[in-house]
Amino acid sequence: MKHLFLLLAAVFLLVNCSKKQNIQESQQSISSTEEVQTGGVKMVEIETPVGKFKVWTKKFGDNPRIKILLLHGGPAMTHEYMECFESFFPKEGFEMYEYDQLGSYYSDQPDNDSLWTTPRFVEEVEQVRRALGLNKDNFYLLGNSWGGILAMEYALKYQDNLKGLIISNMMPSIPDYEKYNTELRSQMRKSLVDSLNAFEAKGDFKNPVYVDLVTREYYNKHICRLPEWPEPVNRTFKHLNEHIYVLMQGPSEFKVGGRLITWDRKASLPNIKVPTLAIGAKYDTMDPKAMEQLSKAVQKGRYLYCPDGSHLSFWDDQKTYFPNVIQFIKDVDENRF
């Protein structure tokens, strides 16, 4: 019994010593880290014509060959509605960055309307790229909606920094988009269109009745078709910077206006030489045929059609969207494109 007791005591001391050593090693590792760990969040400082500000970014994964920067829509929505990418890209081994553009909820929101122009946003993306260490050997840019406009504009100026470009659910022309919206509107019942016209003629876009009609009859059919909108999508709408959105886009996805009203880059698409994936969807607010034409207009294009998708096809047609986007990235990375 005495020997058993001594043996147990020795084992106990050995285990405790081992635990203390592991804790000490962990403490030394943490203390040797120069910066406080933030779970991947980095506030990137950018310079603008009216001063310096900070924008929010978050890193997932680590891959020296594949680094993807997501550009959200709006303008002035947030990265939140694209959080579903977290369920797909990191497990493929891709390095991914979420990012709130200047004016959006998690970034600085300066009160200066001179900042809200497409060229200024392009320069912001370039500064973010440099700060995150992305380059022509690993940098993939994925933009949805307004983020697609921004991605196209960035590629037209800075494509030498890109390895691949993904335009998700964005036509290359706002006037064409407005025409397609008119076509979608014409498919609605006449009594509904008459009601919408009455509110719009008075500029009463915030009327709860008008908002409810647009949400039920348009957003639920063409923005996101899931019976219950995902919490990250609802969170984005809560955090929308409405002033910037209206200034650039107009009062809603249904009524186009603002500074982007004449934006059209169809004639410039042949200048894009990097591998490009254009994504369209059957129920999108964007004409899927225009997205197919975009893929043919660039020098190295591919088209992805989501038969069950809408404007947020990465939510309502994930089974089509993600396998094909992932395959495009892998094909470019392995020089199979």
What pLDDT score does 203 carry?
Answer: 83
* Beta carbons of 224 and 311 less than 8 angstroms apart: yes
Known active-site residue 243: no
Known active-site residue 222: no
User: How many CB atoms sit inside 10 A of residue 263's CB?
Assistant: 17
Q: Are strands 67-71 and 51-60 parallel, antiparallel or unpaired?
A: unpaired
Please identify which of the residues 100, 108, 284, 287 carries the catalytic annotation.
284
Please identify which of the residues 311, 316, 317, 333 carries the catalytic annotation.
311
What pLDDT score does 77 carry?
Answer: 97
Q: What torsion, rounded to 10 degrees, do the Cα atoms 105, 164, 297, 143 define?
A: -10
pTM of the full predicted structure?
A: 0.88
Q: What torsion, rounded to 10 degrees, do the Cα atoms 186, 191, 193, 194 define?
A: 130
Residue 68 in 3-state DSSP?
A: strand
96 contact partners, CB below 8 Å, separation of at least 6: 59, 60, 61, 67, 68, 70, 85, 86, 89, 90
Known active-site residue 145: yes
Please identify which of the residues 145, 168, 310, 313 carries the catalytic annotation.
145
- pLDDT tens digit at each of 337 positions of the chain: 555 555 555 545 554 555 555 555 555 555 555 778 889 999 999 999 999 999 999 999 999 999 999 999 999 999 999 999 999 999 999 999 999 999 999 999 999 999 999 999 999 999 999 999 999 999 999 999 999 999 999 999 999 999 999 999 999 999 999 999 888 888 888 888 888 888 888 888 888 888 888 888 888 999 999 999 999 999 999 999 999 999 999 887 667 789 999 999 999 999 999 999 999 999 999 999 999 999 999 999 999 999 999 999 999 999 999 999 999 999 999 998 8
Q: Measure the CA–CA gap between 48 and 81, rounded to whole angstroms.
A: 26
Q: Measure the CA–CA gap between 30 and 10, rounded to whole angstroms.
A: 30
What pLDDT score does 204 carry?
Answer: 83
What pLDDT score does 78 carry?
Answer: 98
Strand ranges of the sheet holding 41-48, from the earlier edge strand across to the other edge: 41-48, 51-60, 95-100, 67-71, 139-144, 164-168, 276-281, 301-306
First-residue to last-residue Cα distance in the chain: 73
